[in-house]
Structure 1
Amino acid sequence: MLGLFRSLWDYRGFVWSSIRNEFVARFARSRLGGLWMIINPLAQVAIYALVLSNVLAAKLPGIDNKYAYALYLMAGILAWSLFSEIMGRCLTLFIDQGNLMKKMRFPRITLPVIVVGSCLLNYALLFGALLFVFALLGQLPSIQMLWVVPLTFIVAALAVGMGLILGVLNVFVRDVGQVVPIVLQAWFWFTPIIYPVNIIPDDFKGVMAFNPMYPIVSAYHNALVYAQMPDLQSLIGALVVAAVLMLLGIFMFRRAAPEMVDVL
């Protein structure tokens, strides 16, 4: 493990330059540039808020704000956007970078670190825009919003762990890359992002305990929407799962790296 950190430190210039170049290249010919990273999720929130708040008359108890449902949506999508982006990019990372892995000698661990760094940059821009929109909608910043910082690390660890495991498997069994997007779509609806927790039937609340994103998204809602301290007890399980999966993902990646180069 110390060798991994030493390699990352030695190649820190390569990591930073790769993150910067990827960000610049993504929006090189776009007039709005990085604003598209903010426009897309906010447009998704607007669509859900319009349909579910007005058409289905969805209500959000416990908060006195006529835009409460939109705030609830934005908080949940903030957490999910980071999780799904890291997962999706790690899933195809080694296949996409196969030529680079075969032609250059460098620490392979830098590849997922670059992905995480790029995703966190996108996430930071989205979070800044979200705070601005929150203020416009009457939800002023509170000290509880600082909980987003440790929550971000939990989300990133969970996504990296699962992403590395599935990314390694996808090199050897390409069906994994076809199944995971379907599972992620179902997982999104299995997580209380666009619907409040209080409408979940009691029979299904026990099943929710097996969803590690459930306590994380709930913590985002508590910190950003309700200005409350997250339920730390429920987050312990998600943190343990994230840590175990990340360690397992790193272990699988280190063991399979030489074979992946041959397969690719």
Structure 2
Amino acid sequence: MTDQPISINPHSAQPSSLQALARSLWRNRQLIVRMTRREVVGRYKGSAMGMAWSFFNPVFMLVVYTFVFSEIFKSRWGGVGANDSKTEFAVVLFVGMIVLNLFSEVINRAPGLILSNVNYVKKVVFPLEILPVISTGAALFHGLVSLGVLLGAFVIFNGYLHWTTIFIPLVLLPLVILTTGLSWMLASLGVFLRDVGQTVAIITTVLMFLSPVFYPVTAVPERFRPFIMANPLTFIIEQAREVLIWGHLPNFVGLSVYTLAAFVVAWIGYAWFQKTRKGFSDVL
């Protein structure tokens, strides 16, 4: 990229194939890394502790969860493979919160991505399609920090880690793909329909209670369980707990199907974004 902005025609058609997406991500890989780093660092700009907050925030939340649910509510998870320890509920809950926060952070920000980067639409040559990828990358960074805190706490509480922990990237990958695809779609819709941001915030709040974050799926009455299982977060949360907490192998068949569906959603979201982006400059 040059130092001076280059004028372009914002109404020009953009490629929407999977090959075009792959080429764009590869061609702009260094830009994505730099802007993701700037996104992460910028969140703590001006604070005395800076990036250290990305570590202390999940530590603080895990301490709160452990105290409240083990000492006040004296909650027990009671799931398969549970050891019924005092700290178990907090650790199991924290796994669900990591997955939920990864999804919610990206989705809640998506409707405002283009609105907050108007200059990229009208004045410079910029690959707008990488903005949702950057947002996902920043959320993934914070999710990985929280995951590190979780693993450290698990070792402190139990004295070991399950070897199946190595499968957690495989579990999270389809969620990352799905979330990025939805982000492309919502980023576009947010330009034309400003109410999308408010609607998405409500939906993610509802999903928090309709996901097995605070309760196991087995606690849901049979007649309502299909609705919980239809939630795209449910399967990932359950699989994350299987490999991190219970030490079980993931459901490889289920993850394969989920990943395929996530790729389809991602391609649809990307294609929608590319087809509608020529109208961004008329609205902004």
TM-score normalized by the length of structure 1 = 0.91
Segments of structure 1 that go 5 or more residues without pairing to the other structure are none
Amino acid at match of 2:126: F
Match of 2:158 in 1: 138
Distance 1:74 1:239, change over 3 A: same
Map of 1:86 onto structure 2: 106
Is residue 2:179 matched to residue 1:155? no
Counterpart contact for 2:111–2:197, Cα < 8 Å: yes
Q: 2:237 aligns with which of 217, 229, 234?
A: 217
Q: Confirm or deny that 1:197 pairs with 2:217.
A: yes
**Per the alignment, in what secondary structure is the counterpart of residue 203 of structure 1?**
coil
Alpha-carbon distance in structure 2 between the residues aligned to 1:217 and 1:44: 18
**For 1:138 and 1:112, how far apart are their aligned partners in 2?**
38
CA distance 1:206–1:13, change in 2 (3 Å): closer
Q: Which residue in 1 is equivalent to 2:82?
A: 63
Q: Which among 88, 97, 120 is matched to residue 77 of structure 1?
A: 97
Match of 1:238 among 258, 263, 266: 258
CA offset at residue 100 of structure 1? 2.1
Deviation, 1:172, is: 0.6
Aligned positions of 1:1-264 closer than 5 A: 1-61=18-78, 62-64=81-83, 65-138=85-158, 140-264=160-284
Write the letter of the residue equivalent to 2:35: S
Name the CA distance, whole Å, in 2 between partners of 1:258 and 1:200: 46
Larger Rg: 2
1:91–1:170 contact (8 Å) kept in structure 2: yes
- The TM-score with structure 2 as length reference comes to 0.85
Q: 1:207 to 1:3 in 2, by over 3 A?
A: closer
Structure 1 Cα separation of the partners of residues 277 and 122 of structure 2: 11
Counterparts of 1:150 and 1:100 in 2: how far apart (Å)? 34
Paired with 2:93 and 2:55, the residues of 1 have a C-alpha distance of 14
- Aligned-pair CA distance for 1:68: 1.0
How much has 1:42 moved relative to structure 2? 4.0
1:139 CA displacement: 5.3
Once the two structures are TM-superposed, the CA of residue 229 in structure 1 deviates from its matched residue by 1.2
Give CA deviations for 1:18-49 in whole Å, capped at 9, x if unaligned. 12222233223222222323333443444444
Question: How far apart are 1:220 and its partner, in Å?
Answer: 0.7
Given that 2:217 and 2:225 are in contact with CA atoms closer than 8 Å, whether structure 1 keeps it comes out as: no
Q: Secondary structure at the match of 1:261?
A: helix
CA RMSD, aligned part only? 2.0
How far residue 136 of structure 1 moved from its aligned partner, in angstroms, is 1.3
What amino acid is the match of 1:12? R
- How far apart in 2 are the matches of 1:237 and 1:88? 26
Percent of counterpart pairs with the same letter?
29
Superposition deviation, residue 233 in structure 1: 4.0
| Paired residue type of 1:5 | A
Mapped contact 1:90–1:160 kept (Cα < 8 A): no
